[in-house]
């Protein structure tokens, strides 16, 4: 879910690559909307095409596929920008059969994984996309037990400010902890409503985006953005 008018380069997307895998991501291209509209469009197309291709085969190594996915997106962004353009990104592949997420965090705000034990941060595993042609990315795997959920937020959520005080990742966690048993869409809406209430008006400096994924208690997928 995106709050208000697009100002920068947030791109969220998700797709089903095969009967058991859903590929998702949240990207933040540096610069104004006018500057990076072409880059965002190119990245979206690569996400759609390469995401389906790399994760379709049931027998693939998901970590290898995720690293190749990152490299393809990195190349697309550099080509579309005709040079260097920083793009932080959190990319993941949810495996419904295994209840796992293979992910790469390219200099993005940490992903937040919530289960009965609490909230775990999924920190950066590499540099932002769009900086270096020879960048490498690690792709660890996190397990989601039934009822667990994953939340991704853009930099605009964390940096939304009121009287020079930022909303911050800690407030994101506090709101996330207070919404058990909600759908993915409801979780995203709760976070964005929390930002709006904090700043007392519509955030105007950055795109404010939240994406959530919930592994339902019956182990079937419920995802929204």
| Per-residue confidence (pLDDT) for residue 181, from 0 to 100 | 77
| Per-residue confidence (pLDDT) for residue 153, from 0 to 100 | 95
User: Domain total for the chain?
Assistant: 1
Instruction: Kindly report, residue by residue over 176-210, the tens digit of the pLDDT.
Output: 998 777 889 999 999 999 998 998 876 656 688 99
| Other beta carbons less than 10 A from residue 15's beta carbon | 15
CA distance 204 to 24: 26
| Per-residue confidence (pLDDT) for residue 5, from 0 to 100 | 60
Q: Is 55 helix (H, G, I), strand (E, B) or coil?
A: coil
| Per-residue confidence (pLDDT) for residue 203, from 0 to 100 | 61
Q: What's the CATH number where 7 sits?
A: 3.60.40.10
Per the structure, the complete domain to which residue 195 belongs is given by 2-224
Instruction: Kindly report, residue by residue over 116-128, the tens digit of the pLDDT.
Output: 899 999 999 999 9
**For each successive 10 residues of the chain (225 residues), what is the average pLDDT?**
62 94 94 84 95 95 97 95 94 96 97 94 96 90 94 92 91 89 89 90 74 81 45
| Other beta carbons less than 10 A from residue 222's beta carbon | 16
């Amino acid at each position: 879910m995106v709050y208000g008018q697009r100002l920068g380069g947030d791109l969220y997307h998700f797709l089903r690559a095969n009967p058991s895998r859903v590929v998702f991501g949240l990207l933040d291209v540096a610069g104004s909307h006018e500057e990076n509209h072409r880059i965002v469009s190119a990245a979206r197309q690569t996400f759609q095409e390469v995401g389906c291709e790399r994760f379709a085969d049931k027998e693939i190594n998901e970590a290898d596929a995720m690293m190749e996915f990152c490299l393809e997106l990195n190349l697309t962004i550099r080509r579309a920008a005709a040079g260097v353009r920083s793009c932080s990104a959190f990319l993941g592949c949810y495996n419904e059969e295994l209840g796992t997420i293979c992910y790469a965090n390219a200099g993005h705000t940490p992903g937040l994984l919530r289960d009965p034990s609490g909230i775990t941060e999924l920190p950066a595993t590499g540099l932002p996309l769009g900086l270096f042609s020879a960048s490498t990315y690690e792709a660890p795997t996190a397990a989601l037990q039934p009822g667990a959920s994953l939340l991704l937020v853009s930099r605009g959520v964390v940096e939304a400010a009121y009287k020079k005080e930022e909303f911050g990742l800690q407030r994101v966690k506090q709101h996330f902890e207070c919404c058990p048993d909600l759908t993915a869409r409801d979780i995203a809406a709760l976070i964005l409503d929390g930002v709006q209430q904090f700043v007392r008006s519509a955030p105007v400096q950055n795109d404010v985006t939240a994406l959530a994924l919930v592994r339902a208690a019956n182990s079937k997928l419920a995802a929204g953005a």
